[in-house]
Amino acid sequence: MEEIFFAGTPLLEAVGLREPFVEELRATIRQSVQKAVIPMTAYARQYESFLPVLNVDPVAYVRSHTLSPLFAIYSSGAARILQQR
């Protein structure tokens, strides 16, 4: 490591925001993102009908069903079947 030689001071030059190739790359990225938004919006629209299901809080959902009278009936029946095995 001691014999590594750097000519001059090693540094990384900064790129200006208004350099032509930077502006060209920025325009290319902007166009690509704008083109990608169209199919992604259509894709997202297909799942709008499922939003109520996707936004369910699982803990609250399970709690609401374990407190119902039907849960007691079904769980006692399931317990009997498991005990018979």
pLDDT in tens, 23-53: 999 999 999 999 999 999 999 999 999 999 9
Write down the mean pLDDT value for the chain.
84
71 in the same domain as 46:
no
Taking the alpha carbons of 26, 28, 29, 35 in that order, is the dihedral positive or negative? positive
38 in the same domain as 59:
no
Listed residue (11, 54, 67) closest to 75, CA to CA: 67
The predicted pLDDT at position 6 comes to: 67
23 in the same domain as 46:
yes
Domain that holds residue 42: 16-51
Let me know: does 36 contact 30? Beta carbons within 8 Å.
Answer: no
Does residue 2 lie in a domain region?
no
Does residue 7 lie in a domain region?
no
27 in the same domain as 45:
yes
Domain count, the chain: 2
